[in-house]
Amino acid sequence: MSEIRTARFAAPDEAREKYDAIIPAYQAAFAAEPWYEVSKCGGCSSGYSRQNPGDICQACGSATGDEAYTEQELTEKFDAIGKTRPTCWYIEETPAGLALAAVAWTADLVQIAAEKYPGSPEMAEWLKQKYAPNTAPNSEILWLDEVFADRQISRRNNLANFRPMVYGFSNRLDQTKVAYRTIAPAMTRVAMRDFGDDATIDKAKSDVPDWRILYQLIYLGKK
């Protein structure tokens, strides 16, 4: 029997009413592969460790700190996003609970570089070179910031609606250039599956001066 799943877009204040489901799903998703962000770690370049809080990080030997993403931190982060820029959420639910959530917002290249790549002038320059030929100065793009699934609720086909989700964000935020970064192979495959030649991939370190494996860019035409 196919899974009954409902999907909807939500404004930040509407999404806030679902934080009790969104936040645990986020914590669980990023504690699992390929991120393994379980606890904070001052000795690792990523800032996170796969060991539990209070354990010794096997990667660097440092003592780990608090859990990687606390409820208070995520609440403050999501609230700040919604208050400081045009923002839209996407939520998929089943009778068992929240299956997937995503949040997207618009910003110019300076803001994206400052927030997503602080202290990295190389990435700021790369973003400028990447978008400058096709983007007017100070114009904005749609940044697909987070996409995460609760695998205890839904273990498969969580990106089945990726294309309508991206178009929905595009329509609601009035942007046709969509970008995101990822280290998840599934997030790369789905861009190629749903957008083909309209999506580009830049590989980490060889194409992008950053440790994330892939950087996606999608140019949207008419649906």
DSSP 98-130: EEEEEEEEEEEHHHHHHHHSTT-HHHHHHHHHH
Phi, psi of 13 (to 5 degrees): -70, -30
pLDDT beneath 70: ranges in the chain: 1-2, 131-138, 211-215, 221-223
What pLDDT score does 223 carry? 43
Q: For the purposes of burial, counting CB atoms within 10 Å of the CB of 91, is it exposed (0-12), middle (13-18) or buried (19 or more)?
A: buried
Nearest to residue 141, comparing CAs of 163, 112, 121? Answer: 112
What pLDDT score does 110 carry? 83
> Rounded to whole angstroms, how far apart are CA atoms 124 and 111?
10
> Rounded to whole angstroms, how far apart are CA atoms 64 and 119?
23
Residue that is written with structure tokens 């830049």 in the block? 202
What pLDDT score does 72 carry? 97
Beta-sheet pairing, 214-219 with 199-203? antiparallel
Dihedral, CA of residue 112, residue 213, residue 184 and residue 146, to nearest 10: -10
157-214 pLDDT, tens digit each: 899 999 999 999 999 999 998 989 888 889 989 999 999 888 888 877 777 877 655 5
Share of the chain above pLDDT 70, in %: 91
End-to-end CA distance of the chain: 30
